[in-house]
Each structure stands twice: as structure tokens, then as C-alpha cells.
Amino acid sequence: MRLVVPLRGIVGGRGGLILGTFVPCALFCYLHIRRLRFLATRRVSERAEPIAKAEESPYYVGLGRVSQDPFDEVANPNGIIQLGLSENRLCLDLIEEWLSENLNGAMIGHGSDKGHLGIGGITGYQPHDGVTELKEAMAGFMSQVMGGEISFDPSRIVLTAGATPAIEILCFCLADPGDAFLVPTPYYPGFDRDMTWRTGVELIPVHCHSANNFILSIAALQQAFNQARKRGQRVQGILISNPSNPVGNLLPQKTLHDILDFARKKNIHIISDEIFAGSIHGNEEFFSLAKILDAENFDKSRAHILYGLSKDLSLAGFRVGVIYSYNDDVLAAAKKLTRFSSVSAPTQRLLISLLSDTSFIGRYLETNRKRIRKMYDIFVSGLKEIGVKYVDSSGGLYCWVDMSGLMHSHNVKEELELWDKLLNVAKVNATPGSACHSIEPGWFRCCFTTLSEGNIRIAIERIRKVAEMRKSSR
Amino acid sequence: MEPASVRKHSLLSMIARNGGHGEHSPYFDGWKAYDRNPFHPTQNPDGVIQMGLAENQLSFDLIEEWIKNNPTASICTPDGVGKFKDVAIFQDYHGLPEFRQAIAKFMGRVRRGKVTFDPDRIVMSGGATGASETLIFCLADPGDAFLVPSPYYPAFDRDLRWRTGVRLIPFACDSTNNFQVTLAQMESAYAKAIEANINVKGVILTNPSNPLGINLSKETLTSLLSFTFEKNLHMVCDEIYSATVFKSPAFTSIAEVMQETECNPDLVHIIYSLSKDMGLPGFRVGIIYSYNDQVVNCARKMSSFGLVSSQSQHLLASMLSDEVFIEKFLEENSRRLGKRHSRVVEGLKQEGINCLEGNAGLFLWMDLRHLLKEPTPDAEMELWRVIIKDVKLNVSPGSSFHCPEPGFFRVCFANMDDHTVEVALQRIREFVSRGNKNGDDKKHWRKRDLRLSFTSRKCDESLISPRQIMSPHSPVPQSPLVRART
């Protein structure tokens, strides 16, 4: 009733008191009734409303624009070149070849199937978290991906319909609404949606800087944790991606040790998203969380690894994600939650065959790395030619490019203007760093594994034109 | 309510810690009994027969034949592998256009052409389980409630409430009018909920009903739809058994009723799936069909959490567009379901056991009230334990479906072959005749030790053999079922 005082100033005495009481009450009732009416007519839930609104992040806007006007060398040479989707199309021919040679109607699976389940084996209900044979094959595959140095226990695997539900399920298991995860920036824009939409969980960015190659510092982690504590917010874990998306660097062994130590002291979880582990094209050594835990005497009960087949095997459409947890209680809960997101049975059948062919997989992984490297080399040499800087990366399907040289001033507004120019004038869709919560404006993630060599050169040329335009307009 | 200190120090979320998954329920004893001792005609003829799994296995030979004859539909064949690349990378949450079109057409066909569905309103989800949960996320906030007629599918308690925080308010249908849902019951339940200050967001109907195996009549649907319109409530219709109708009355969808009754389309939503009608639960095809654009938009974004594998989409797009095959399949599937239903009903009738007059679904609603020692839930559980332990049939007790009247059991009949059906009926015959020989049936149960002996209720996963098949109710993987060979 803060209106009482000023009204008393306008209308003195008892009149003011009465008015000062009556008016706010009436206003309150009016607004309350309006809200009730609004709630009554509102068709979707409160939590769904923000989701239903159009996605405004440049990450999604860019993807949307490309789907309306996609570049095609022949059919649409003036279309938008897609550098915003970390998809790998370089080795699908290998899998296609394998399919032609190996499967021939394996969906029915008469000969290879024990118990002659035939098609009944794939039409019927399956364990929600995946059939045992696929878990075994997946454990073997993950081991191959990590260089054969670690063995994964199939009973610690929970299979989900893609990495997207995998991370959501893990959040549902580890955190309550209002709890938070610390996430080093820059990070994959999809985390904002996947981890928070329905869980009610929050993400606290922990900023990393170009000065130390975007490697997470424990001091920054500590500061973010303390600030959350002061606010009364419960931090339940740290999410790292390794190889990092969007930067493409690999976490050093020491950093992983420090993070594990930090997590132990604070009694919080550590989730390592290793979905690009098979896309490491550089020479740096990769340390999976599994490798560290295997070798050292770290407490494993709060450690979890996320994986999937969308990037390393290019099977994004098949929807196969993995939660690998060292915590039995989390495994038990996650398994129950997979009832909402299970892998389709025919896909499971196909993958059991594919992943079990270890010699093919070995050849595939090696060829995949070589082809990614080749494209990376072409892309970065193009950037060098046009004088654009980038971070040397060893993994992932993208390059973290510094386009601040093309900006008039060093802020997010300028970055978004540049993004807009690139998208709508140059017709190149790259993901601006602000969409990835980068603290330093001017960085862009450019994915190069959906393009042919020729198309990479076209993309570079288009960026060069923008660079020239920006220079001349200064 | 757990103490704040537990939450403060817990490494796991409340969702992970609470019993919202429902697997500590005593009903899972039946599953465990089956798992430890599964029936097999030759290898284990004395094992427990699974009659608690609503799976349609009667027509997969037709599916198998179609797949063999249509190699281009599968990317795993020389004829179809050319599509592999495009299919493998396709992860657009709108789904393959041809898949959505095929689903829309199929749904229209199941409704005998009386309704057409718009492919742009088809939203995918992880099976009907994922579809129903996603829809609830879109329509309701934690604490909101939906009215649901009981008896109802037990997994709704988990699927619709566990992560969403939404409440279900059952209102009972009973045997006095053959468990028909009436407007009066719904009105009364709604009024009570409002009086108790519960924010009712809508109503969930399963039509055809699980576990009853009957359709809602057009008149009933019309009156319920009008009621929800009047009260501004969402009308959610789970129509996943729509093509399992094997005798009249024909199925009436809410979509059909909408065309003839004043309503607000923004409040009407259908849940669908291929798990029951086509017998393809393993494919995980759940569909949300909403007449509300905002819901379609929101659900579509959420479908990222449960998209259908593009490989499956590709195959099904082809299969469901084959109109000649689908026509034949739907007809033959209904015929086989009807035949199986009649056989089981007849077999039970011979033993003096009646069932609710059903015309749809993969199960029947069996009346064993006359075998209860008293009309109480405890007596029903006692009888159920006898059926599992002595008769060795895993049927589902009515109380698991929130049926307020003790003595009813759901019996699934479409997940086995003819031979297994006969074995089951024979066991019932023997059970009933044993009961008759012992004179006073009711005293007979009292003397028996009816406890199921397990060393632990928790499922021991090390005992589980590799080839396991899971049902949506069961917490434990089970050994392969005997496949229907007819």
C-alpha cells in the first residue's frame, strides 16, 4: 500500500487515507482478476510458454535460415553455406559400403539371431535402457574410440534416444529445480535448452579466456561456486565437454585432476561430455575422464560420462546416446527414466552388428580422423590467407575463429551485427560466440565437416569479402 | 516429506530418490514370479504364463512379410541402402515429411476416413510413454491436476506425474453400469476437486479403454467434450488402441466428435502410438496430435528428448503409405484379435467365469468377485497371489488399475500363441475344479500360505539372462515370450 503516502499528500486528511486505501486495493483486485482470467484462458502451462516462443538465439535462427535457403553447388549456388551445424558427413560412404556388404536384410535377422526370434526380436518391447548386446558392443566401441586403453563396463551403460535426452536424464537424476551446474564457457548452445527447460535446473557460466587457451581455471570455478553459495543456490555439479565444443581443445591431464579434486572437496558431480572423442584429428593426447579414473585413485561415485553416435559415427538421425555412470544409484534412476527416451529396436539391431565389427570400426575411426584433419587444414589455411585468426584445435568438427578483426568495436552488439552480415549478405552461417556464452566478443564457431573442399574455399572467399567490406568501411 | 538436511546433502535429486517410478509396488511381484519361472511350451511347461503384458503379437508375420517384400523400405538391404546417408544424418525434430504424412493418413484410415489429420500437427515422441509425458509438460504445471476415469492404465501414475509434478484425480466407474464413464461422474469429480482448491487443467480419457477393452460411445464422448468446453478444460484422448477394435460398436475418435459438437480446438489433444495397433512397441513411435498451435510448437521442441529413429521413420513411412497392405493388415489384425478374444472368453465362461463384454484392446476384464472370500482389496490381493503361485498365470489385479471394486482382473491375450492360450485355460479349469472339490472355496484360501516367497523384492540383475524383453509395466527384464505362431 505504498500509494497511501503519496495520495495522502494529494488529498489530505481522512479522504486521502480512504482513497489511499481504496485505490490500491481496487487496483490490486483488478490486476488479480485480470491475471486469473489470463491464466484461465492460457492454454499451455507456464513452464511451456517460454519454450513455445520462437527460439531467438542466433544459433537456432541461423540454422533456421539455412534450412530455408540451403547452399547447393548446382541447384542453389547463392544459398547460405552451413558452418553452424556440427555434423560430420565425411565418412558416411564407409558405413554405407559396410551396410551393403554386411547386412542384407539383417532387420529380419534369421541366421544370426539366437533363439530364432526373427522379427519378433525387434518389434516387441525391449529393456528401456537398451539390450545387453548393444551395451556390450557400445562398451567395446567406446574403448576403441578412446584408443583401446580403457575398458568400459557394459553394465554401467544406459542407452538413450540421443545425447539430448541423455544429458536431460542425468540432470533429472542429479539435481532438483533451482539447483545449478557450473559450465565452463564458451559452451554448446543446446545445453541451455536440454539441461534447463523441463528440469528447472540452472547453468552458471564459468568464463574461460583466450589468454590461457580457453582452459578452465580452478580459481574461476571456485569463485563461481562461492558466489552461488552466497546466493543460497545449491551447486550439484560441473559439466565439462572434452573435446570442447565450440573451441575444439582437449583438457590437459592436470586440469582434469584439479577438477576432480575440486569436485571431491565440494562433494559435487562431474559430468564429462565426450561426444567428440572419436573426432580428434590433432596430435595432442586425449584424456577421457574414464582414463583418469582408471589410472588414479579418485573417488568415482560422482563421475559420469556422456557419449553418443551423432558425431563420431555421423548417425544423428538414429538417436543413440549414452550415459556412463560410476554411481549405482544414478544408474538405477537413469535406467528407469529411459522409458521416455529409448533407442528404437531396429536401430539397436543394426548397431550391434556395426559396432561389433571391430576391424571395420578401427579402420573407420582412423579414416575419419584423417578426413577431418584434411578439412581442418584446408579451412585454417584459408583463414590464414585472409588474415583471420583462430584457435589451434585438436578435436571436434569445427574451428573457433577470431573475427574480432572484422569488427569496428569490441562488443556483443558488433558481434551480432557481424553475424548478421555473414548470414544475410555473405550467406555464411557461423555461430557467434555470444550464443555460446563466450565472455570475449568476436569469436565464431565454424563447422567444416559438412562441406566439400571446394565449398570450404567458397565459404572462405565469402568471409574474405566481408572482411574487405568491413575494412573499407572503417 | 524428507527433512531439509537430506536434500541439502543428497547427491541425488528428489526425483531419483522418491518412489515416483512406482516400482516398489507389490504388483511387481507378479512380474518377478514370471521372470524367475517363465513359461515355455517345451523347456518349461510348468512356468508362469505372462498374461499381464498388453502386447499385440498376433500379426507380426504380416509385418515381416511386408518387410521382406519391400526391401527398398529398409536401409539395411542392397535395394534400400542408397537412402542410408540422407536418413542417417536426418535429425530435424519435425520428422521426415513422408513419415508425418504416412502417420496422418494411417490415423485417418483407422478412423474409417471419417476424419482427416494434418501432417503438420503430427509431433513425435519416445513411444506413447514419451508422448503422454511431453503433452502433460506442455499443458500443466507442478501441482495442477487431471481427472481420469478409473480403472486406468497403472503407468499413468508414473508417466504423467513423476517428472512433471502433475496430479491425477481418479473418478471411479463401476460394474453397476458396466464401467461406463458418465458425465455425472465427471461433473461430480470436478466439483469435488474445485471445492478442495485443486487446479484442474483437464481430463484424460483412454479410448478404447485400458484395462476394460471397451469403446466410449459417441454420445458419451460428446457430452464429455461439451463439459470440458464449458469448464475450459483440456481434453486429452489416449487413442492408442483405436485399431484393436474387433467387433461393434465401431470406434469413435474425439476428432470425429469435434466435427459435430461445439468445442474449443485449442483444448483437444490426441495421444497415439504404433505399439498396440501395429504391434511395434520396439520401434518407439509415440505421436502427439494437438489442435492447439502453441502446444504443437512446444511439444515439437520437446520432441528432441525422444525423437523416433530416422531409420524407423523411413521404414514406417513406406509401410504406412502402402494402402493395400494397411487395409489388409487392419482387417486381418482385427479378425485375429476377435477370434482370440472369443476363444478366451468362451474358455472362461465354461468355468463359470464372466468377463466384461469387450470389443477392443488386447485384454479382457475378468470378473472373479465370486472367488473372493470377502469383497475387499486384501482379499483380491490374496486371490491374485494364489493365481500367480498356484495357477501360474501373471494376470493384473484390478486394484493396480485403481479399480475401487475388488475382484476384477485384466487378462492379456494377444501376446501368446494358441497353444499357450489352451494351456492357460486348462490351468484355470483345473484351478476351478480344485476349488469346487474342496467345497467351501473361501475357507480353502484362508488355510493356504499365500505369501510369495522371494529373498528380496529387489530385482537381482545378475540373474538376468542376456535376451530380455521388457514391458512397460515391468521393472525387470523378462525372458523371451513364446511368440504367437498363428
How many whole angstroms separate alpha carbon A319 and alpha carbon B266? 31
On whether both B188 and B308 belong to a single domain, the answer is yes
Q: Are residues B342 and B283 in the same domain?
A: no
d(CA B163, CA B22): 12
**What is the pLDDT at residue B427?**
95
Render pLDDT for B441-473 as a digit per residue (tens, 0 to 9). Answer: 444 444 444 444 443 333 333 333 333 333 444
Residue of A nearest to B145 (CA): A45
- Coil, strand or helix at A238: strand
Q: Which of A55, A67, A165 sits opposite B306 (nearest CB)?
A: A165
Examine the pLDDT at A41 and tell me if it is beyond 80: no
Name chain B contacts of A118, Cβ cutoff 8 Å: 64, 483
Q: Examine the pLDDT at A471 and tell me if it is beyond 80.
A: no
What pLDDT is attached to residue A80? 96
- Give the pLDDT score at B63: 94
CB contact under 8 A, A315 and B88: yes
Residue B77 lies in a domain: no
Which cell numbers hold the place of B172?
471411479
Mean pLDDT, range A283-307, rounded to an integer: 92
Q: State the average pLDDT over residues A93-102.
A: 92
Query: Both B385 and B456 in a single domain?
Result: yes
Residue of B57, B59, B364 lying closest to B210 (CA atoms): B364
Contact in structure between A351 and A309 (CB atoms under 8 Å):
yes
Residues B343 and B472 in one domain: yes
Residues contacting residue B146 through CB under 8 Å, at least 6 positions apart: B136, B140, B160, B166, B167, B168, B169, B200, B201, B202, B203, B204, B234, B236
Out of A89, A121, A344, name the one closest to residue B309 (CB).
Answer: A344
Q: Please report, for the domain that includes residue B28, its CATH number.
A: 3.90.1150.10
**Assigned domain for B317 exists:** yes
Which residue, of B321, B351, B369, is where some domain finishes?
Answer: B321
**B439-478 residues touching A, CB cutoff 8 A:** 461, 466-472, 475, 477
Closest-CA residue to B106 (of B82, B126, B122) = B122
Show Cβ contacts of residue A32 under 8 Å, excluding neighbours closer than 6 positions.
none
User: Is pLDDT of B138 > 60?
Assistant: yes
Q: Retrieve residue B215's grid coordinates.
A: 469403446
pLDDT at B27 over 80: no
| Residues of chain A found within 8 Å of residue B308, distances taken between Cβ atoms | 319, 344
More confident residue, A260 or A119: A260
Looking at CA atoms only, how far is residue A143 from chain B in angstroms?
A: 21
Contact B473, B31 (CB under 8 A): yes
CA angle A84–A90–A94, rounded 5-degree value: 150
Please tell me the predicted confidence (pLDDT) of residue B447. 44
> How far is B159 from B128, CA to CA, in rounded Å?
10
- Helix or strand holding residue A304 (H, E): strand A303-308
| Single-letter residue type at A411 | N
Q: pLDDT digit string (tens) for A436-459?
A: 999 999 999 999 999 999 999 999
B284–A343 CB contact, under 8 Å: yes
pLDDT tens digits along B224-235: 999 999 999 999
Is B255 domain-assigned? yes
**CA B444 to each of CA A416, B294, B426: distance values in angstroms, whole numbers, following the listed order:** 81, 59, 21
Q: Do B134 and B201 share a domain, yes or no? A: yes
Q: Do B137 and A269 touch (CB under 8 A)?
A: no
- Does B53 contact A52 at a Cβ distance shorter than 8 Å? no
Alpha carbon distance A276, A188 (integer Å)? 12
Helical axes B218-231 vs B183-195, angle rounded to 10°: 20
pLDDT > 70? residue B383: yes
Q: What is the pLDDT of residue B140?
A: 96
Which pLDDT score, from 0 to 100, does residue A3 have? 45
Provide the mean pLDDT of chain A: 89
Q: How confident is the model at residue B435 (pLDDT cuts 50, 70, 90)?
A: confident
Mean pLDDT (chain B) is 89
Collapsing DSSP states into helix, strand and coil, what is residue B390? helix
- Mean pLDDT (whole number) for B277-289: 95
> Is B326 a domain residue?
no
- Residue A32: what pLDDT? 66
The reply to whether residue A347 touches residue B309, judged by beta carbons under 8 angstroms, is yes
Q: What is d(CA B92, CA B115) in angstroms, rounded to the nearest whole number?
A: 27
pLDDT of residue B44: 94
Distance between first and last Cα of chain A: 55
Look up A273 and say whether it is catalytic.
Answer: yes
pLDDT of residue B443: 45
Per-residue pLDDT, averaged over B63-73, amounts to 92
Q: Which neighbouring-strand residues pair with B410?
A: B365, B396
Q: What would the mean pLDDT of B41-67 be, rounded to a whole number?
A: 93
* Cβ-based contacts of B311 with chain A (< 8 Å): 317-318, 344, 346-347, 350
pLDDT tens digit sequence for A315-334: 999 999 999 999 999 999 99
Q: What CATH number corresponds to the domain at position B204?
A: 3.40.640.10
Topology, domain A55-92+362-472: Aspartate Aminotransferase, domain 1 (3.90.1150)
Q: Indicate yes or no: CB of B282 within 8 angstroms of CB of A301.
A: no
Binary contact (A108, B283; C-beta < 8 A): no
Q: Is residue B300 part of a domain?
A: yes
Look at residue A44 in the predicted model and tell me its pLDDT.
86
What is the reported pTM? 0.89
**Is B352 in CB contact (< 8 Å) with chain A?**
no
**One domain for residues B284 and B373:** no
| Percent with pLDDT over 70 in chain A | 89
Q: Are residues B283 and B412 in the same domain?
A: no
pLDDT value for B467: 34
Residue B479's pLDDT band (boundaries 50, 70, 90)? very low
C-alpha distances out from residue A415 to A84, A403, A431, A467, B424, Å: 15, 9, 10, 13, 71
Are B201 and B301 in a shared domain?
A: yes
Q: Residues A349-397: pLDDT tens digits? A: 999 999 999 999 999 999 999 999 999 999 999 999 999 999 999 999 9
pLDDT of residue B10: 82
Stretch B173-178: mean pLDDT: 93
Among A311, A335, A372, A376, the active-site one is A311
Catalytic residues of B: 153, 238, 240, 276
- Residue of B78, B310, B471 with shortest CB distance to A100: B78
Q: Nearest 5°: CA angle at A305, between A301 and A311?
A: 175
B125, B267: one domain:
yes
- Which of A170 and B452 is assigned the larger pLDDT? A170
Cα–Cα distance for residue pair B413/B363, rounded to 1 Å: 6
Of B269, B293, B321, the last residue of a domain is B321
Q: Per-residue confidence at A33, pLDDT binned at 50, 70, 90?
A: low
Tell me the residue type at A110.
Answer: H
* B232 touches A: beta carbon within 8 Å: yes
DSSP string covering B283-306: G-EEEEEES-HHHHHHHHHHGGGS
Q: How far apart are CA A181 and CA A171, in angstroms?
A: 9
ipTM of the complex: 0.88
A308 pairs with which residues across the strands? Answer: A321
CA A174, CA A192: separation in Å to the nearest integer? Answer: 17
Q: Is the same domain home to B308 and B343?
A: no
Going from the C-alpha of A319 to that of each of A165, A341, B223, B309, the distances in angstroms are 10, 9, 42, 6
Q: What SS3 state is found at B420? A: helix
**Residues B264, B158 share a domain:** yes
Q: Pick from B321, B349, B371: which residue ends a domain?
A: B321
For B93, name the nearest residue in chain A, comparing CA atoms only.
A317
Helix (H) or strand (E) holding B323: helix B323-350
| Residue B70 falls inside a structural domain | no
Which 3 state secondary structure label does DSSP give B81? helix
Answer whether residue B75 is part of any domain.
Answer: no
Claim to verify: residue B43 and residue B135 sit in the same structural domain: no
CATH code for the domain defined by A111-360: 3.40.640.10
Q: How far is A125 from chain B (nearest CA, A)?
A: 5
**∠A142-A144-A148 over CA atoms, to 5°?**
115
- Tens digits of per-residue pLDDT, B318-376? 999 999 999 999 999 999 999 999 999 999 999 999 999 999 999 999 999 999 999 99
N-to-C CA span, chain B: 52
Number of structural domains (chain B) is 2
What is the span of the domain harbouring residue B403? Answer: 4-55+335-485
Please check whether residue B31 lies inside any domain of the structure: yes
How far A308 CA lies from chain B's nearest CA (Å)? 13
- Tell whether the model's pLDDT for residue B202 goes beyond 90: yes
Higher pLDDT, B5 or B203: B203
Of B89, B284, B301, Cβ closest to residue A314? B89
Residues B424, B345 contacting (CB under 8 angstroms)? no
- Alpha-carbon distance of A134 to A142, in angstroms, equals 12
pLDDT class for A57, splitting at 50, 70, 90? Answer: confident
Q: Give me the pLDDT at residue A296, please.
A: 78
